[in-house]
Amino acid sequence: MITAHCSLDLLGSVAALCVCDLSPAQCDVNCCCDPDCSSVDFSVFSACSVPVVTGDSQFCSQKAVIYSLNFTANPPQRVFKLVDQINPSIFCIHITNYKPALSFINPEVPDENNFDTLMKTSDGFTLNAESDISFTTKLDIPTTAKYKYGVPLQTSDSFLRFPSSLTSSLCTDNNPAAFLVNQAVRCTRKINLEQCEEIEALSMAFYSSPEILRAPDSRTKVPITVQSVIIQSLNKTLTRREDTDVLQPALVNAGHFHLCMNVVLEVKYSLTYTDRGEVTKADLSFLLGTVSSVVVPLQQKFEIYFLQENTKPVPLSGNPGYVVGLPLAAGFQPHKTGALPCRLVAQKVKNLLWGQGFPDYVAPFGNSQAQDVLDWVPIHFITQSFNRKHSVLQDSCQLPGALVIEVKWTKYGSLLNPQAKIVNVTANLISSSFPEANSGNERTILISTAVTFVDVSAPAEAGFRAPPAINARLPFNFFFPFV
């Protein structure tokens, strides 16, 4: 039996837990685990509101603290004892080597200060950076009939190359792609702009020409299919090509500057596999761009993801809170009618602003499930119209000019580990009145879209109990016989 005058620190972290301690720097009534309470406070306690405090219930054996009051002592004292509780569940945790895994972890966003530290702790293959050594002399070819986790993917001549950075930020092309290991890396490549047509790593064929073996040492080959090619201009605008033909880098002279077109900036592999450890499909997406002498050295991004056959994976944007930089999870329901009282040009502009399948709901958390419809946040649609001066109503048309999306989010959960939660989304379509142009005349209409994220988190405030109020009434004849 341990009495109240003993130090709570000697009992470990369980004794430091107190769920009824709601008032900072004040004693809460009947809260026996409140460290702010003294013997004087115990004299007015009736019982312990929380008699038992336990640790993590997932463990097979967990520490628990039992609180009680000794009213026979003068002054009354708090009594507590430390006991071991046994979890009868067969799925309990016997021991854990990584305690942070039992709670949510705040994701660490890479920046210029912690980039080098994250690079040192990242997983990868420790291979020699020399490119003249054959792959077959470095890696042992697996002899199993199926791919296992972490086994390099074989091609018809060696292994599927997945460029990555090893000891520095420079790209190394000798890194093999591993089975079921999703990766997304960025690396820098030093190039001579005048020789860009001769550098294999800048060409689409370098990534799309290999053929992956369906299984290790198999004779069945899976070709890599190019699904999409997006062209990025010098001003960062994106254009998707209708065809998926393989383009070669081309050096162009633009006055005093040299430009290299059709350079690979981003590569994204999407591999489909079966539960038997076989690769059945390989898709590839490219982002090509134009490189000038200003952006040398060149930064490239490479991604590879594995999808199981006959499944429809849903990408998450956090678990559960949103992660900075990941897209908002949203959904939509089919529209019952598409009739709108507007001209054809207004309808086309509106479709351009809304895009294809504009969502009706937004997930509050990054890992929200689609079946929990009531938990999703509905998008509030607002339409505003502004009439220009000197415009005639009969000869004018209301055309949408801007789409403004406002996302309000808050910090949800514990103050020690808050999670990002979306609470409100508003889509505001702003229209203006434009006079109709005569036949043969052209008018340029500028349209824009904007999205803003507003933090509506309320600041944490200390809660204090209301002071006691005296509810006393005088007798009806208190002033008799004077009144």
Band (pLDDT 50/70/90 cuts) for residue 286 is very high
Band (pLDDT 50/70/90 cuts) for residue 424 is very high
pLDDT beyond 50 at 256: yes
Higher pLDDT, 259 or 104: 259
- In degrees, rounded to 5, the angle at the alpha carbon of residue 301 between the alpha carbons of residues 271 and 283 is 20
Task: Kindly report, residue by residue over 210-219, the tens digit of the pLDDT.
Answer: 899 988 888 8
- Segment 291-302 shows an average pLDDT of 81
pLDDT beyond 80 at 54: yes
- Segment 436-449 shows an average pLDDT of 70
Instruction: Out of 169-173, 310-314, 355-359, 418-422, give the one with best mean pLDDT.
Output: 418-422
Looking at residue 333, what is its pLDDT?
67
Looking at residue 40, what is its pLDDT?
86
Looking at residue 388, what is its pLDDT?
58
Arithmetic mean of pLDDT over the chain: 80
Task: Kindly report, residue by residue over 229-253, the tens digit of the pLDDT.
Answer: 999 888 888 888 888 888 888 888 8
Looking at residue 436, what is its pLDDT?
61
Q: Give the domain ranges of the chain.
A: 2-100, 115-308, 330-455
Looking at residue 295, what is its pLDDT?
66
Looking at residue 437, what is its pLDDT?
57
Looking at residue 442, what is its pLDDT?
64
Paired strand residues for 223: 211
pLDDT beyond 90 at 91: no
Task: Kindly report, residue by residue over 457-483, the tens digit of the pLDDT.
Answer: 887 666 667 778 777 777 777 777 776
- Segment 160-172 shows an average pLDDT of 85
Higher pLDDT, 456 or 90: 456
Higher pLDDT, 67 or 341: 67
